[in-house]
Structure 1
Amino acid sequence: MTGSHATRQRHVRQAKIIQAKIAERWQLETPRAWRRKHVAWFVEHRLAMQCKATRYYYLLTVQLLVRRLGKAWVFKCQTKV
C-alpha cells in the first residue's frame, strides 16, 4: 500500500470496520470468504447516511480491498440529496 502514513492507517482502520460489520451480519471473518454482495451491502446500507466525504474515503478503501482480493468488482457511491 502506498501513500502517507496517515492514509495507510485510515485504510487499515476502515478495513477493520468493514470487516467487523460484514462479520457481524454474515459471520464471515476473513475477506477471502466475502462475495460481492457482502461488500455491496456495506456500501449501500452502512454508508447510506454518511456524508459524501466519508463515503468517498470508504470507497477508496473498498477499492483497495477488492484489488487485494484479485476481484474486478466495481461499486458506485450513491449520493442522497
Structure 2
Amino acid sequence: MPVYTYRCESCGLQFDHTQKFSDPPLTECPECGEPVRKVYQPVGIVFKGSGFYATDHRSPSGNGKSRSESKSTEKSASDSSSSSESKD
C-alpha cells in the first residue's frame, strides 16, 4: 500500500499515512482537526543499462539517421570513391 504525506494548513504538522488507492484522502489533522493537504514528493528513479541518452537520442548531425546507418553510408561512399579512383 502507498504511503501518502499530508501537511496541516493551520498548525503545519506534516505526517505520513498508509492508505489503499481506493481509500478517500484524509481531510482533518489528527492534532488540531483543521484541513490537511497532500504533499507531493519527488519520485526516485534509477536508470540502468546502456540508457536512454546513449541509445535513443537524436544523432549529432540532425539528419535523422542512427549511428550505424551513418557509419555504413560513410563506409560505402568511401569504398565507391576509392574504387573509381583506382579504375582511372
TM range (shorter): under 0.3
Larger Rg: 2
Q: Which of the pair has the greater relative contact order for Cα pairs under 8 Å at 6+ separation? A: 1
Q: Which has the higher helix share?
A: 1
Q: What TM-score do you get using the length of structure 2 for normalisation?
A: 0.25
Q: What TM-score do you get using the length of structure 1 for normalisation?
A: 0.27
Q: Which has the higher strand share?
A: 2
